[in-house]
Amino acid sequence: MLCGQEVFNHIIREHYPDLHRAFETTFDECRARAVAPAVAERSEYVIPVVLHVVWKNPEENLHDSILLDQIAVLNEDYNRLNADTGNLRALFKPVAGNARVRFEVHEIRRVKTNANFQLNVLTGSLMANLKNSTQGGSDAKDPLRYLNIWICRIQPITILGIPLGQVLGFAFPPNNLPNWPANSGAPALEQDGVVLDFRTVGRNNPNTMPNPSGSGNLIVRGRTGTHEVGHYLGLRHIWGDGGLLGNNDCNQSDGIDDTPFANSQSNFNCDTTRNTCVKVEPFYGVDMPDLVENFMDYSSESCQNMFTQGQVNHMRSVLEGPRKGLVQASAVAQPGSAQSRPLVYPNPVRGQEFWLEVPTSWRPCQFSLYSIDGRLLLERRIEREETSGLPPVRIETSALGSGWHLVRWQQDQRQWTEKVFIYR
């Protein structure tokens, strides 16, 4: 299975019924806010991320470059800057959305452990030991203000010794923490966040995992992280999350109007002929095929490339409600704002270019790029009349080496500096 959300939902329903009701209430409230029309220009939401690498064997202790690549994937996918956007079928291009959410690494924590980590359907175990330093895990950092992502080896699910499958990751959906029922037996706040198997992280990860469909190894492009953060921000699977095995009828819904109905998940492939619910879609007015390009399906990571506008509206409503404590002051330039600052985007930089977001209050200015040892590599003047918006100023990086660099903006007597990581 692509993620442990169905197993998680089963455990919540069976072992934490009050919490399950609270989740459902929060989901309905968020959906009511999400149906509001989208605005043309939205502020960017900045979310600080704490990465916990909990490892037993050396291959599980992922290099920083792999972790940074995963953050780059999130920033591309949640801002529709991923290179494969052009692979979306034409009939779905009008509903593709840009969430305008940026993830910044706040801290990387590494913990060597002797513990094993496994979801248990019978006992209701939600891998709490992974998030507890006294049990071989790593303690969360203030889940109300930080997105905690734990990376470890997730043991396969078994029942009475019978293997059921491999969970690649799981995440807690929005839970409206201040409104949880008292003494409901709910997981502690310190368990909130995202869990990823170490073999699913990043595009430059040398570790492999068998494809659950039985055809070779899983294609890993960091989309398990994109998928699980989607759950964390309130999204369900596009086929409706109706049962433990994901086999539902065509009346199941994920609560998002512009994701077509499907009666089950994709089988880790890219079957664009798939149409499991032949019915007129209320949103589209016609029958639509399954949206296998959506990040919230179980399709191959090589064909996932989009969220819908309805999903975007829902996630942003979650960041304005149950998870509003995560949102930091936007770093995106707002015209005339004295508080806005320049921004490098995306960061880390994986491709051949990055962009500069330069607020009106910082133009004109001098932009400089330095190696980490202080050598000047590039500079240019950014004039007042250069446009704002994404992307306002393009910087070519093909001649630059991998590693940390320093960027600086200078305007009269004030300056702003920031580190940027470039890798090939």
Q: Which residues are catalytic?
A: 228
Half-sphere exposure of 117 (CA within 13 A, CB side): 31
Amino acid at 129: N
**Structural contact between residues 235 and 316, judged by C-beta atoms closer than 8 angstroms:** no
> Minimal CA–CA distance to 123: which of 244, 1, 11?
11
Q: 310: helix, coil or strand? A: helix
- 239 vs 415: CA distance, rounded Å: 50
- 289 vs 274: CA distance, rounded Å: 6
Other residues' Cβ atoms within 10 Å of the Cβ of residue 56: 16
Query: In what order do the strands lie in the sheet containing 45-55?
Result: 101-112, 45-55, 147-152, 194-197, 169-171
Judging by beta carbons within 10 Å of its beta carbon (0-12, 13-18, 19+), is residue 383 exposed, middle or buried? Answer: exposed
> Minimal CA–CA distance to 420: which of 335, 326, 355?
355
What 343-348 contacts at long range (C-beta under 8 Å, 24+ apart), as own/partner pairs, is 344/407, 344/418, 344/420, 345/75, 345/102, 345/390, 345/391, 346/72, 346/75, 346/76, 346/79, 346/81, 347/75, 347/418, 347/420, 347/421, 348/68, 348/69, 348/71, 348/72, 348/420, 348/421, 348/422, 348/423
Helix ranges restricted to H, 35-171: 64-77
